[in-house]
Amino acid sequence: MKVNEVRPESKVDVIELTIREKGAAREFSSRGGSTGKVCDAKAVDDDGSEVSVSLWNEEIDRVQPNDRIRITNGWAREWRGNIQVSAGKYGKLEVLK
């Protein structure tokens, strides 16, 4: 899957991206009462198309700029006019070698 194929509120089967930069991590509280950390990162696919990636909790420390990642069974949404992708709760984020 490429960035230009990603649609808001849709499933992301498999997408491979290269992380360009990472923002600062921030704390969050969910409606269900759980807490954790989230971080926004910017990434590009092989075509150079950019997308935002939401990194959650332990993913924040695992993923660094210039890392190549694969998100499987993730999701996409639109936030403040930008498309975001994430592995979310049920997907998988791998750092590729």
Cα separation values, 16 from 10, 19, 28, 36, 54, Å: 16, 10, 26, 25, 14
Q: What is the pLDDT of residue 79?
A: 86
Task: List the domains of the chain with CATH numbers.
Answer: 3-96 (2.40.50.140)
Q: What is the pLDDT of residue 3?
A: 94
Q: What is the pLDDT of residue 80?
A: 85
- Written as one string, the DSSP assignment of 48-65 is --EEEEEEETHHHHH--T
Q: What is the pLDDT of residue 97?
A: 76
In 3D space, the residue among 66, 68, 59 whose CA is nearest the CA of residue 97 turns out to be 68
Alpha helices in the chain (DSSP H): 58-62
Low-confidence ranges of the chain (pLDDT < 70): none
Residue pair 75/13 in contact by the 8 Å Cβ criterion: no
Q: What is the pLDDT of residue 89?
A: 87
